[in-house]
Amino acid sequence: MKRSIAVLGTGRMGSALARALLASDHRMTVWNRTKDKAEPLALLGATVASSALEAVTSAEVIIVNVSDYKATAGILRDDAVASAVRGKLIVDLTSGTPQGARDAAEWCGRHGAGYLDGAIMATPDFIGTDAGTILVSGQGQAFRDNEAVFRALGGNVQHVGQDPGRANALDSALLALMWGALFGALNAIAVSQAEDIDLGELSRQWTATAPVVEGLVTDLIKRTDAGRFASDEETLSSISIHHSAFQHLLELMDARGIDRAVVDGYGFFFQRAIAAGQLHGDFAALSQFMGKAA
């Protein structure tokens, strides 16, 4: 059965969420602090509410997508809005921390509302497409009861656990991986520019080697999960091999005066592993030195 839905927050992402829901024929009310930004959604069939209270009152499912949880709290923890959420389902797709989601779930429970928390693993152009990924955690029954709503938001919207903090925890883990790649790319650009390598060439070579990197990441996760840190017949590369190639990078960066702040972090972990006698271990052995601050 199609639900009545309110989307609170129609910035770049909130507007994409609202458009996807409108395309799937849900009854939609939208609200945004700056009303102008919500107006274009009226042309697609949404009712534009003048206040958050009006939007919350109009719907069974309230999707929130604002900058951060402080903004969410500022909207929902108004006395009138807090009374109006009773019996409704709040789905906060705003980015945040695991603890922030757990606190929000607890607040909703005290105010008689259901709560699901979501982490959007996509840019707005992916929302409503088959490749749109959103991780959702919290009350599994509420997720199943509203499957049509979630299906409209993307082809890969998954419930990842009862703990409301789980989606945000996974989000942070995946962002750590992404930023590793993005800061690595910035280093690669600096090295290429210093060595007069055309960035188009860098792009072509990266595309050719990306499957190797993907394989290494997958292997690293698998070996860490199994605790297989010693080198064995399936080891793809040891710490020693990486460490020696790493010295070439450092030498080049020093010769060209390239900032080493990011790669010195890698050096720190190489040194910890080597000091612990793991120079010839599998690269995955470095996992043992990342889980706790030194």
Ligand X SMILES: NC(=O)c1ccc[n+]([C@@H]2O[C@H](COP(=O)([O-])OP(=O)(O)OC[C@H]3O[C@@H](n4cnc5c(N)ncnc54)[C@H](OP(=O)(O)O)[C@@H]3O)[C@@H](O)[C@H]2O)c1
For ligand X, which stretch binds (CB under 6 A), given 3-11, 177-185, 239-247, 280-288?
3-11
Q: From residue 30 to residue 49, what is the string marking binding to ligand X with x (rule CB under 6 A)?
A: --xxx--x------------
Does 77 participate in binding ligand X (rule CB under 6 A)?
Answer: no
Strands (E), 93-249: 114-120, 133-138, 156-161
User: What Cα–Cα distance (Å) separates residue 251 from each residue in 68, 198, 266?
Assistant: 42, 21, 15
Strands (E), the chain: 4-8, 27-31, 47-48, 61-64, 89-92, 114-120, 133-138, 156-161
Q: Give me the least distance between CB of 197 and ligand X, in Å please.
A: 30
Residue 161, burial from CB neighbour count under 10 angstroms (0-12, 13-18, 19+): middle
Q: Give me the least distance between CB of 246 and ligand X, in Å please.
A: 33
Task: Say which residues have a Cβ less than 8 Å from residue 247's Cβ, sequence separation at least 6.
Answer: none
Q: Give me the least distance between CB of 71 and ligand X, in Å please.
A: 4
Number of residues counted as binding ligand X (CB under 6 A) = 22
Q: For residue 179, what are its two tokens? A: 């930023």
For ligand X, which stretch binds (CB under 6 A), given 18-26, 27-35, 139-147, 280-288?
27-35
Does 66 participate in binding ligand X (rule CB under 6 A)?
Answer: yes
Does 14 participate in binding ligand X (rule CB under 6 A)?
Answer: yes
Q: Give me the least distance between CB of 70 and ligand X, in Å please.
A: 7
Does 120 participate in binding ligand X (rule CB under 6 A)?
Answer: yes
Determine contact, residues 286/273, Cβ cutoff 8 Å.
yes
Q: Give me the least distance between CB of 63 and ligand X, in Å please.
A: 11
Binding residue for ligand X, selected from 9, 100, 132, 138, defined by CB under 6 A: 9
User: What Cα–Cα distance (Å) separates residue 189 from each residue in 175, 199, 201?
Assistant: 21, 7, 11
Ramachandran quadrant class, 87 (left: phi over 0; alpha: psi -120 to 50; beta: rest): left
Binding residue for ligand X, selected from 3, 11, 24, 188, defined by CB under 6 A: 11
Q: Which residues bind ligand X (CB under 6 A)?
A: 9-14, 32-34, 37, 65-68, 71, 74-75, 94-95, 120, 123-124
